[in-house]
């Protein structure tokens, strides 16, 4: 529980109300308004939750002004450099870094759950051949609740644990199957001798007719992309997972809700939208035209991969991602990739522009990730599914934290109603 040492006083028409001020371990203080409606008969108004803490959490911390992202206290730069995705999964799920034995046990548990129920193959075949892999994933992950009945009782901690492991283990398999289905290739079974990221590449790029050897440089880059996307405190999709879970819905349904929310271009869909934008720009000389369009409110156009609700200095994930883009493209022998040149020049021009400076708009994690993923051979439609499979551990950690919290309540925001007041139903002929 956060500490409460001070109070703030709210004055409404001369009547005062004391609001407890809660202090987090780090970050801004939080006014506790839980009793406000009962005492003062007023709601607070905060569309988009720009000033509202929706929960207590111990998982991830972001300092938007400093450009800092911590998983359980550890800076993302250190984890990206020294850790690996499954270790980060353990950290997010259980709160501490594992020792060697805990890590080995965890790896075995995840690895043993990578296959999906064979009947799920038939389920995939019900989708249109050209379905977007995100559409398939929303459906298939939701349908996991129909296949894994023994891990849907949210009141049982053991079932919650099994569901968590199943989701972390099977999401890469499901994402790869969605991809294979969309390009008309046979599904590839997981290979447990490979590490998590290497196995995902294998399931995406291997075909029965040819041996596929995982390039360690690419699997390391993929592992890093996964780490950078693993959690991001109470963003839109995580809040969706928590809200869905607050009604007692099973974890598979909740994660499917998170995937649906992530799909939007303002959130996880931005990586696909960003690469499409970079391709549309095409050459460095067209950048000023697009920057001008982004500044024109009437155009409805935004620079995709730019801006963030919380980061107002820089997105630390983008810094690591930019380094990775350089490394991967260099190693693939495409260091002079025209899209990377356009991206770097666009970043340079935008960061010198008064509009972007004054609004504190910086490249976010999605700005460079698409370039790396495309260089690896992924089509743009797979960018958001890769974000989804990487974020699954964050969603499930946040969901577990919420379910385990004795203070959990169903999420039920109120509203500022501005519609018609009560009126009587008129007969048809009088309208
Ligand atoms: N290009 C041009 N102008 C922008 C952009 C942009 N990318 N982003 C924000 N602005 C302007 C916006 O028009 C507004 O101007 P004004 O104050 O004059 O009305 C101001 O900056 C604040 O924007 P906002 O929409 O109120 O900010 P927000 O915190 O609600 O939105 C955002 C954050 C990420 C949705 C937004 O910056 C955006 O749409 N970016 C492009 C999409 C994108 O890259 N999303 C990925 C986010 S990071 C990955 C993830 O977490 O999913």
Nearest CA to ligand 1 atom 44: 305
pLDDT per residue over 278-316, tens digit each?
999 999 999 999 999 999 999 999 999 999 989 988 899
Catalytic site residue from 84, 232, 308, 315: 308
Closest-lying ligand 1 atom to the alpha carbon of residue 367: 44
**How would DSSP label each residue in 218-284?**
HHHHHHHHHHHHS--SS-HHHHHHHHHHHTT--HHHHHHHHHHHHTSTTTTTHHHHHHHHHHHH-SG
**pLDDT tier for residue 29 given thresholds of 50, 70 and 90:** very high
Does 113 contact ligand 1 (Cβ within 6 A)? no
Residue-level pLDDT at 304: 92
Residue-level pLDDT at 101: 98
Does 304 contact ligand 1 (Cβ within 6 A)? yes
Residue-level pLDDT at 28: 94
**pLDDT tier for residue 222 given thresholds of 50, 70 and 90:** very high
Catalytic site residue from 195, 223, 231, 366: 366
Alpha-carbon dihedral angle through residues 65, 67, 72, 77, given to the nearest 10 degrees: -160
- In the annotation, is 366 catalytic? yes
Does 229 contact ligand 1 (Cβ within 6 A)? no
For all residues of the chain together, what is the average pLDDT? 94
Average pLDDT over residues 76-93: 97
Distance 258 CA to ligand 1 centre (A): 20
Residue-level pLDDT at 247: 97
Does 388 contact ligand 1 (Cβ within 6 A)? no
Residue-level pLDDT at 4: 85
Q: Which two tokens stand for residue 240?
A: 């969706």
- In the annotation, is 267 catalytic? no
* Residues 395 and 238 sit within 8 Å (Cβ to Cβ): yes
φ/ψ (deg, to 5) at 324: -65, -40
Does 311 contact ligand 1 (Cβ within 6 A)? no
Instruction: Return d(Cα 340, Cα 130) in angstroms, integer.
Output: 29
Nearest CA to ligand 1 atom 41: 304
Average pLDDT over residues 333-341: 82
pLDDT per residue over 343-373, tens digit each?
989 999 988 999 999 999 999 988 989 889 9
Does 267 contact ligand 1 (Cβ within 6 A)? yes
């Amino acid at each position: 529980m956060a500490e409460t040492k001070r109070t703030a006083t709210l004055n409404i028409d001369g009547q005062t109300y004391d609001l407890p001020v809660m202090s987090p371990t780090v970050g801004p203080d939080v006014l506790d308004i839980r009793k406000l409606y009962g005492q003062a008969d007023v709601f607070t108004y905060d569309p988009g939750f720009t000033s509202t803490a929706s929960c207590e959490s111990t998982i991830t911390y972001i300092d938007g002004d400093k450009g800092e992202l911590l998983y359980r206290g550890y800076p993302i730069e250190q984890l990206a450099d020294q850790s690996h995705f499954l270790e980060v999964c353990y950290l997010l799920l259980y709160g501490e870094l594992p020792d060697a034995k805990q890590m080995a046990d965890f790896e075995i548990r995840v690895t043993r759950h990578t296959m999906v129920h064979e009947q799920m193959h038939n389920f995939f075949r019900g989708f249109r051949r050209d379905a977007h892999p995100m559409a398939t994933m929303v459906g298939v992950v939701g349908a996991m609740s129909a296949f894994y009945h023994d891990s849907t009782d949210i009141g049982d901690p053991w079932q919650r644990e099994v569901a968590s492991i199943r989701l972390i283990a099977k999401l890469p398999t499901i994402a790869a199957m969605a991809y294979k289905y969309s390009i008309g290739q046979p599904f590839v079974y997981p290979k447990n001798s490979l590490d998590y990221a290497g196995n995902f590449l294998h399931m995406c790029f291997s075909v029965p007719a040819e041996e596929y050897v995982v390039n360690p440089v690419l699997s390391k880059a993929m592992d890093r992309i996964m780490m950078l996307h693993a959690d991001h405190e109470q963003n839109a999709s995580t809040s969706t997972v928590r809200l869905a879970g607050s009604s007692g819905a099973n974890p598979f349904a909740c994660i499917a809700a998170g995937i649906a929310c992530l799909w939007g271009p303002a959130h996880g869909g931005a990586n696909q939208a960003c690469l499409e934008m970079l391709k549309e720009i095409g050459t460095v000389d067209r950048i000023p035209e697009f920057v001008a369009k982004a500044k024109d409110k009437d155009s409805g156009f935004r620079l995709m991969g730019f801006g963030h609700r919380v980061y107002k200095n820089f997105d630390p994930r983008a810094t690591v991602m930019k380094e990775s883009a350089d490394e991967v493209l260099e190693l693939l022998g495409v260091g002079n990739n025209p899209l990377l040149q356009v991206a770097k020049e666009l970043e340079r021009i935008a960061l010198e522009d008064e509009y972007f400076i004054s609004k504190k708009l910086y490249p976010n994690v999605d700005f460079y990730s698409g370039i790396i993923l495309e260089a690896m051979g992924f089509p743009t439609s797979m960018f958001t599914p890769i974000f989804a499979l990487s974020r699954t551990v964050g969603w499930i950690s946040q969901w577990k934290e919420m379910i385990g919290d004795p203070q959990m309540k169903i999420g039920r925001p109120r509203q500022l109603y501005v519609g018609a007041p009560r009126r009587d139903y008129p007969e048809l002929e009088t309208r």
